[in-house]
């Protein structure tokens, strides 16, 4: 029997077969869960519907996370298709306008800030809000973050600010929903080759450096995140909430990355003015 046997829920954010969201959906299905999927727009509909057949998804429904009415209707439809309730919701959505992402935080426009925070942060709050009436006791909500929420990561810029707000939202939602037995957690993964990530200006360099500098000496992939997601959404983590779980090969614990080099030769001592005279 799988970790998620008898459980059902929704994964929001599948774009293609390389998506972290898709890897999570596949893993949950493998563990026995029934998984409904959403698509963001008509351009993604056929692709998501095609993927849904691989996991025998009972529902594929439109869900523009900037539209409260669509969030509400998507969660209601999912609950109806999944025997009236939800045991989990997965949020894998983030976006920043290209101009603002490249502009560095100091150059972020007001509209770009609003758009980034709405799609990357409020969408998680809105999703949990829309799902809340249908969430069963001990249900889990999960979102995806990145180390840029905690540290300055070159090229991540305004998205780092958004991820910091997302992690704070996770903690507050955990406190809000804890009395109902509902858990809210986040996974902060290392860089992974997805359609969204490869748009970052220094992504290839980031991959190479993280592999060299993490304790495990390698990068992580979609499957690593999916494995941790299955744990956080299963009963094995029934006492874990408000947590950001790092799945990054240990990179986040490092303060320096190379062995100390040989100490330089001692410089000649400077003579005093008196000695020179």
Confidence of residue 276 (pLDDT cuts 50, 70, 90): very low
- The answer as to whether 256 is a domain residue is no
- Contacts of residue 26, defined as CB under 8 A and 6 or more positions apart, other chains included, come to 54, 55, 226
Residue 147 domain boundaries = 8-249
- The answer as to whether 275 is a domain residue is no
- Quote the pLDDT of residue 207: 73
Residues annotated as catalytic (active site), given as ranges: 146, 156
What is the token pair recorded at 91? 């949020």
Q: How far is CA 74 from CA 62, 131, 149, 163, 269, in A?
A: 7, 9, 29, 24, 74
- Quote the pLDDT of residue 267: 47
Side-chain-facing half-sphere of 6: CA atoms under 13 Å: 6
Q: What is the DSSP string of 139-185?
A: EEEEEEEEGGGTS--TTTTHHHHHHHHHHHHHHHHHHHHGGGT-EEE
- The answer as to whether 63 is a domain residue is yes
Q: How far apart are CA 67 and CA 185, in angstroms?
A: 23
- The answer as to whether 261 is a domain residue is no
- The answer as to whether 258 is a domain residue is no
- The answer as to whether 3 is a domain residue is no
CATH number at residue 107: 3.40.50.720
**Average pLDDT across the chain, whole number:** 91
Residue 273: pLDDT over 80? no
Residue 49: pLDDT over 80? yes
- Quote the pLDDT of residue 212: 84
- The answer as to whether 260 is a domain residue is no
Q: How many domains does the chain divide into?
A: 1
- For 63-113, write each residue's pLDDT tens digit: 999 999 999 999 999 999 999 999 999 999 999 999 999 999 999 999 999
- The answer as to whether 40 is a domain residue is yes
């Amino acid at each position: 029997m799988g970790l998620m046997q008898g459980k059902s829920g929704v994964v929001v954010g599948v774009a293609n077969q390389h998506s972290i969201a898709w890897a999570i959906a596949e893993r949950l299905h493998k563990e026995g869960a029934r998984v409904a999927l959403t698509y963001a727009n008509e351009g993604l509909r056929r692709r998501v519907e095609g993927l849904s057949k691989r996991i025998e998804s009972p529902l594929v429904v439109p869900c523009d996370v900037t539209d409260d009415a669509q969030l509400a209707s998507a969660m209601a439809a999912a609950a109806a298709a999944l025997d009236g309730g939800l045991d989990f919701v997965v949020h894998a959505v983030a976006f920043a306008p290209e101009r603002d992402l490249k502009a560095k935080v100091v150059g972020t426009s007001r509209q770009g800030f609003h758009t980034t925070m709405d799609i990357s942060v409020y969408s998680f709050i809105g999703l949990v809000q829309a799902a809340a009436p249908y969430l069963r006791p001990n249900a889990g909500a999960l979102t995806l973050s990145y180390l840029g929420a905690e540290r300055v990561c070159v090229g991540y810029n305004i998205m780092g600010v958004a991820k910091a707000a997302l992690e704070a939202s996770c903690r507050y939602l955990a406190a809000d929903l804890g009395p109902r037995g509902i858990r809210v957690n986040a996974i902060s993964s290392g860089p992974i080759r997805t359609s969204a990530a490869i748009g970052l200006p220094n992504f290839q360099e980031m991959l190479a450096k993280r592999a060299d500098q993490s304790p495990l000496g390698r990068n992580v992939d979609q499957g690593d995140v999916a494995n941790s997601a299955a744990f956080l959404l299963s009963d094995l983590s029934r006492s874990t909430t408000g947590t950001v779980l790092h799945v990054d090969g240990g990179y986040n614990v490092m303060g320096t990355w190379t062995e100390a080099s040989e100490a330089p030769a001692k410089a000649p001592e400077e003579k005093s003015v008196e000695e020179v005279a």
